[in-house]
Amino acid sequence: MLETADLPAALGRIRRVTGLPVAFGGVVAADVRHMRLTDFAGTSTLALHGLVVSAGHGLGGRVVTTARPGRVADYAADPRISHEYDGPVTAEGLRAIAAVPVAMGGSVLAVLYAGTREPIAVGGRALDAMGRVALRLGTEVTVRREVARRMAELEVAAARDARDATAREWEEVRLAHADLRTLAAETSDPTLRERLQHISDRLVGARPGAAAPPPLSPRELDVLAMVAVGCGNAEAARRLGLLPETVKSYLRNAMRKLGTHGRMETVVTARRLGFLP
């Protein structure tokens, strides 16, 4: 689920937000028995490159097994970790190191490290900042997995003749459409948001009689997609990260543009015009 550019981008963010000179990371194997260090920023040697860290060993291995952040003020002298990897770490000259897990659900996908060549403990603020970077990456990976699942469902639905689709099948498409627009609202990655919106537009395009681009704004479509699957204003607001009054405003705008006078009339009209699946 992790993409090639994920770890380098996360390591760059960690160096910017913490000010620590060295950052590196690795992906945890599918069997969660080990992790290989693959990406580096600020290192001066190749000592850590390709190092395989066993689960439970060293600082990173402990993070893999506990799924919790960890830090040491002086790696080679810290009594709380095992010391199988002192050679590569000291060869790089690292002393104080912190590590955080990138998690999806209850699984650790990767570990992000940052450190310094001075025996000065990584502070709580820096560790918290690292945790936010890891959380952001874990969220993006989770979103991608959900998109992949929804796309697989879409491909199965598309394999059927749209003219023969049952009401239940179209309801699944509508739920997928609403979920994708929710995910788009949740992600902080503009590229991923654009991809999600494109996919939701494809779901609308799969509907017989789909129309040209609608006169509604993306947010007005978001709100109508929530209403179409039975969400009230409060639930739509929660899912889209808006205030209930803002949801009402978008709904009023959609009614004005479509010339309708009620929630369900607006949804029915949007479907008839091909703006919703």
Domain assignment present for 35: yes
- Domain of 219, CATH number, reads 1.10.10.10
pLDDT of 212 strictly over 60? no
Residue that terminates a domain, selected from 103, 138, 173:
138
Domain assignment present for 148: no
Same-domain status, 11 and 42: yes
Question: Residue 72's Cα: distance from chain center in Å?
Answer: 28
- Domain of 51, CATH number, reads 3.30.450.40
Rounded Cα distance, 64 and 61, in Å: 5
Q: Which two tokens stand for residue 200?
A: 């939701």
Domain assignment present for 152: no
Same-domain status, 180 and 124: no
Q: What number of other Cβ atoms are within 10 A of residue 76's Cβ?
A: 15
Residue 129, beta-bridge partner list:
none
Rounded Cα distance, 76 and 158, in Å: 57
Return the residue matching tokens 């860290």: 53
Same-domain status, 131 and 190: no
Of 9-18, 127-136, 161-170, 224-233, which range is least confident?
161-170
Query: b or e along 181-199 (b: 16 or more beta carbons within 10 Å of the residue's beta carbon)?
Result: bbbbbebebeebbebbbeb
Contact 127, 98 (CB under 8 A): yes
Same-domain status, 33 and 121: yes
Same-domain status, 166 and 264: yes
pLDDT digits (tens, 9 = 90+) for 48-100: 999 999 999 999 999 999 999 999 999 999 999 999 999 999 999 999 999 99
Of the candidates 113, 120, 108, the one whose C-alpha atom is nearest the C-alpha of residue 11 is: 113
Domain assignment present for 42: yes
Same-domain status, 229 and 109: no
Same-domain status, 223 and 117: no
Mean predicted lDDT score pLDDT of the chain: 86
pLDDT at 88: 97
Same-domain status, 211 and 92: no
Rounded Cα distance, 184 and 147, in Å: 10
Q: How many domains does the chain have?
A: 2
Same-domain status, 118 and 228: no
pTM, 2 dp: 0.64
Domain membership of residue 25 as a residue range: 6-138
Same-domain status, 88 and 169: no
